[in-house]
Structure 1
Amino acid sequence: MAQTKKVTKKPSSTKRAVDWNEALRPLLKKYRGRKHPLAYQNAYQLIVMIVLSARSSDAIVNNQAPALFAAYPDFNALSKAEPEALYPLIKGPGYRHKAEYIIGIAKDVAATGVIPEDIDRLTQWKGFGRKSANVYMSQMGLKAEGIIVDLHTLRVSPRLGIALSDDPKKMEAELMERIDRKQWHQAGMALTFLGRETCRPTDPHCDECLMNPVCGFYKKKKK
């Protein structure tokens, strides 16, 4: 009778998966209640400023906004504007398209009398994608339907290891799988602030980062 060779199992080399809801707690605590850097006063201003911030900086938009809102204080006023009248007020990358986008949005809201509160309706506006909708919904305290993925999130998430895709939609889906829905708005803003303040494109401040205990980038850097 043939002898059966005893196979000794090797210890598993699989690393324990990170509980990202637990790991993110210090970061969420740090940025809890922090308002978006866009200096808006109401929903109208926030929507317009979100559109203007594409391929621009919050600082530039904050500087342009007072003159724009003095001339066009609400959706009704903006809906009656001609794109050319806005050009001097919103100079910057893509300003011609942005003028058309914000006037189009204003016409829609002026006609319906309603600002949408769901992501499907918000993203029907030209110039207002998922990132824009998620920013708006988070700042207005609306029910979360997604997670903000901006340039900062696209850099920070793969470094941490929480999401690896370089495609914004796929990254958002990864984040939504790993983070409890009740934290989606807060987590999106927290990751963005982490990228703005600590996890910089060059010379990230890893040693002072709250996330370095679980950060793959930091662990490789320390080897």
Structure 2
Amino acid sequence: MNLFEDSNEWTEKLDPILSKYKDRKHPLEYRNLYQLMTMVVLSAQDSDANINKIAPALFEIFPDMESLSVSNVASLVPHISKVRNFGTKANWLIEIAQILQKDENIPLTMDDLIALKGIGRKSANVIMKEANVPTEGIIADLHVIRVAPRIGLIPESKEGIKVEKQLTQLLPKAIWGEIGMAISFLGREICRPTPKCEECPIRENCQYPSKTF
């Protein structure tokens, strides 16, 4: 079977989760692009739930890129001190703000986003998807890294960039924007480290149940 046939076959197999999670908003509770970018940077190696908790107070003090750009690390740190690696992230956010200056200057291309401190391909793909611009890859967060090999899509790997590359080689570009978050939501809700296979909408096409049942 060639790659094109694999692509069509997997698109059909994944359609139940594409339908289930289509247009589902990212779990980060942002209100605009500035908040989204800031929260994405803060969420690295931390939970979305934790970032959602600290965000309202943070954005009361720093409501936009301009307010952040005229601040400094010492002023920012107290508002993000409950975030993992807050010192490093404070430096990243201040540098980003000083480069961009205003919300309208936030870029929405892969190259321009990953040129900013604290934003890699995964973060850039999240920002682009949530901003409703065509993504240039597939979101490969920790849930996708766990679930995609488990269901049989790709070989197991712990490297997000490698996982993304394998997925983009296998799946058609038309579904890149949705499929990453669809797999991620499946991993958050159903395909947990201990999976709830009986609830999975793609169980019949998954390789994992055959290993355990």
TM-score, normalisation: structure 1: 0.88
The answer on whether the counterparts of 1:28 and 1:187 sit within 8 Å (CA) in structure 2 is yes
Deviations 1:2-61, CA, capped at 9 Å, x for gaps:
xxxxxxxxxxxxxx9581111110100000111001000000000000011111111111
Uncovered stretches (5+) of structure 1, i.e. residues with no partner: 1-15
Deviations 1:57-83, CA, capped at 9 Å, x for gaps:
111111101111110111010011110
Deviations 1:87-117, CA, capped at 9 Å, x for gaps:
1111121000111111111111117952212
1:89 to 79, 100, 108: 79
Structure in which a larger fraction of residues adopt helix: 2
Q: State how 1:44-55 maps to structure 2 within 5 Å.
A: 44-55=34-45
Q: State how 1:189-204 maps to structure 2 within 5 Å.
A: 189-201=181-193, 203-204=194-195
**Equivalent position of 1:24 in the other structure:** 14
Query: Displaced runs of 4+ in structure 1, greater than 3 A?
Result: none
Q: State how 1:65-80 maps to structure 2 within 5 Å.
A: 65-80=55-70
Aligned positions, number: 206
TM-score, normalisation: structure 2: 0.92
CA distance 1:131–1:17, shift in 2 (3 Å): closer
Q: State how 1:116-195 maps to structure 2 within 5 Å.
A: 116-166=107-157, 167-195=159-187
Q: Give the secondary-structure state (helix, strand or coil) at the position aligned to 1:73.
A: coil
The answer on whether the counterparts of 2:108 and 2:127 sit within 8 Å (CA) in structure 1 is no
CA distance 1:165–1:34, shift in 2 (3 Å): same
In structure 2, distance between residues paired with 1:165 and 1:81 = 43
In structure 1, distance between residues paired with 2:212 and 2:153 = 17
The answer on whether the counterparts of 2:43 and 2:51 sit within 8 Å (CA) in structure 1 is yes
The answer on whether the counterparts of 1:24 and 1:211 sit within 8 Å (CA) in structure 2 is yes
**Equivalent position of 2:198 in the other structure:** 207
The answer on whether the counterparts of 1:131 and 1:150 sit within 8 Å (CA) in structure 2 is yes
Uncovered stretches (5+) of structure 2, i.e. residues with no partner: none
The answer on whether the counterparts of 1:147 and 1:188 sit within 8 Å (CA) in structure 2 is yes
In structure 2, distance between residues paired with 1:186 and 1:143 = 10
The answer on whether the counterparts of 1:51 and 1:128 sit within 8 Å (CA) in structure 2 is yes
Q: Give the secondary-structure state (helix, strand or coil) at the position aligned to 2:78.
A: helix
In structure 2, distance between residues paired with 1:59 and 1:40 = 12
Instruction: Say which structure, 1 or 2, has more relative contact order (CA 8 Å, 6+ apart).
Output: 2
Give the number of the structure whose alpha-carbon radius of gyration is greater. 1
Q: State how 1:56-71 maps to structure 2 within 5 Å.
A: 56-71=46-61
One-letter identity of the residue aligned with 2:191:
C
